[in-house]
């Protein structure tokens, strides 16, 4: 009876050892320069898994939002006073496609209004009084844009929607 109880764990061990032994090669000679905006080498039949670089400079963002903005790194732009900000998160088309439905569902719980827009493969924009969000998935990448705490935009007719549309129109889709 004790031999039977030992057979199942033994078989499981024999099945798992080859999987662990064939794990990723950790030789340390990976290219440290590889990263955001870099194409991943591989089979042409695989889906695009590259992430686009930040699409805008601080000057471009300033033109889009109608006020001076500073580059604060990692595609984050602020007004220099710690109040207004525009953040763009980039991802591969595959990653964007994988998270889109979750993001859109979450937006319906956070924002006053959520609308589908005709950009890329799929896109939406969401707005409320002090913030706006737009997500677009295209063949070149996916982008999540968040505008927050812009006094002039909040007070303008239409609020954040017109500015989000300008940003979406300027993205390299």
For the residues 2-29, what does the mean pLDDT come to?
48
pLDDT digits (tens, 9 = 90+) for 38-52: 444 444 444 567 899
Q: Burial letters for 125-145: b for 16+ Cβ neighbours within 10 Å, e otherwise? A: bbbeeebbbbbbbbebbbbbb
For the residues 7-25, what does the mean pLDDT come to?
47
Could you count the other beta carbons within 10 Å of the beta carbon of residue 119? Answer: 20
CA 135 to chain centre: 8
Kindly report the average pLDDT of the chain as a whole number: 82
């Amino acid at each position: 009876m004790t031999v039977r109880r030992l057979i199942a764990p033994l078989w499981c061990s024999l099945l798992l050892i080859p999987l662990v032994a064939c794990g990723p090669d950790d030789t340390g000679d990976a290219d440290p320069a590889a990263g955001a905006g870099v194409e991943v080498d591989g089979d042409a039949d695989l889906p695009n898994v590259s992430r686009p670089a930040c699409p805008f400079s601080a000057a471009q963002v300033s033109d889009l939002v109608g006020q001076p903005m500073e580059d604060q790194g990692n595609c984050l732009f602020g007004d220099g006073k710690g109040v207004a900000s525009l953040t763009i998160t980039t991802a591969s088309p595959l990653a964007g496609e994988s998270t889109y439905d979750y993001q859109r569902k979450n937006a319906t719980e956070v924002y006053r209004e959520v609308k589908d827009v005709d950009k890329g493969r799929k896109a939406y924009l969401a707005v409320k009084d002090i913030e706006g969000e737009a997500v677009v998935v295209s063949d070149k990448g996916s982008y999540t844009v968040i505008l927050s705490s812009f006094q002039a935009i909040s007070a303008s007719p239409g609020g954040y929607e017109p500015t989000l549309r300008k940003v979406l129109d300027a993205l390299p889709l």
